[in-house]
């Protein structure tokens, strides 16, 4: 992406969408977790989950652009460990009666944050990324995995990586089957291509609209997706 591409903050944008929708799931794809304050972010996302009636999908990643971390004063080399601790810390304050967490990168006690999320014990977690570590994190800690900008062959490769990760780390039974979400490469999606992704093993497609659509064009695009894809693959 270009430095001047206009990207809205996901929590603000999804809160706006929550006010204008009733049934759509609201997913972050992705929040770079080690660049955020975990307790502040937990408060923001709990608020979003409450206001949306429990529709949040919490998509996270560790990031890969060292200059971003340097600008924020966030540790780049330890970003994987920070991500794991921040997620645990957020889940603690979302779910515990007397929240407390003691880690190397996050620690707190004697604090409260209410309201807690509608989803119990916490919103569904989706891990993004195609590294072996990301695959292991998805298998061991998340409800789902998210891939971005992939064709069916790339999706198959990622699923193979997740399969290898499942041989290395244990998946808690409470998480259930790993749900696979993916944004296809390019803009829009034909029915035949959607069927090809489904055959590979993708559960949810997050389709991008073409650039520079006005409100009328965006509404028409969403309508075409509903007519051509929903319930037909």
Token pair 């604090």 is at which residue?
A: 111
- 1-127 domain in CATH 3.20.20.30? yes
Which part of the chain has CATH 3.20.20.30?
1-127
Residue 34 gets which letter from DSSP? G
Return the pLDDT at 110: 95
How far is 11 from 28, CA to CA, in rounded Å?
8
Distance from first CA to last CA of the chain, Å, rounded? 31
For the chain, helix, strand, coil in percent to 5 are 45, 15, 40
- Helix/strand/coil (H/E/C) assignment for every residue in 109-141: CCCCCCCCCCCCCCCEEEEECCCHHHHHHHHHH
Query: Which residues are CB-contacts of 121 (< 8 A; sequence separation ≥ 6)?
Result: 91, 94, 95
pLDDT digits (tens, 9 = 90+) for 132-170: 999 999 999 999 999 999 999 999 999 999 999 999 999
Say how many CA atoms lie within 13 Å of 233 toward its Cβ.
23
pLDDT digits (tens, 9 = 90+) for 182-208: 999 887 778 888 899 999 999 999 988
How far is 92 from 73, CA to CA, in rounded Å?
25
pTM: 0.93
Residues listed for the chain:
233
> Helix, strand or coil for residue 180?
strand
């Amino acid at each position: 992406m270009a430095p001047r591409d206009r990207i809205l903050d996901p929590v603000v944008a999804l809160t706006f969408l929550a006010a204008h929708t009733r049934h759509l799931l609201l997913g972050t794809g992705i929040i770079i977790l080690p660049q955020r304050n975990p307790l502040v972010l937990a408060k923001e996302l709990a608020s979003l989950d409450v206001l949306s009636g429990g529709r949040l999908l919490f998509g996270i990643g560790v990031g890969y652009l060292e200059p971003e971390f340097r600008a924020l004063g966030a540790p780049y080399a330890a970003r994987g460990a920070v991500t794991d601790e921040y997620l645990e810390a957020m889940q603690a304050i979302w779910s515990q009666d007397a929240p407390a967490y003691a880690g190397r990168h996050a620690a707190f006690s004697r604090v409260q944050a209410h309201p807690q999320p509608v989803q119990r014990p916490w919103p569904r977690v989706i891990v993004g990324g195609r590294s072996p570590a990301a695959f292991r994190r998805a298998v061991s800690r998340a409800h789902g995995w998210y891939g971005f900008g992939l064709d069916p062959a790339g999706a198959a490769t990622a699923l193979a990586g997740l399969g290898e990760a499942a041989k290395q780390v244990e998946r808690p039974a409470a998480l259930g089957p790993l749900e696979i979400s993916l944004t296809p490469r390019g803009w829009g999606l034909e029915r035949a291509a959607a069927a090809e992704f489904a055959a590979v093993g993708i559960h949810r497609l997050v389709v991008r609209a073409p650039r520079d659509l006005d409100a009328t064009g965006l509404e028409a695009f969403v309508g075409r997706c509903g007519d051509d894809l929903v319930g037909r693959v």
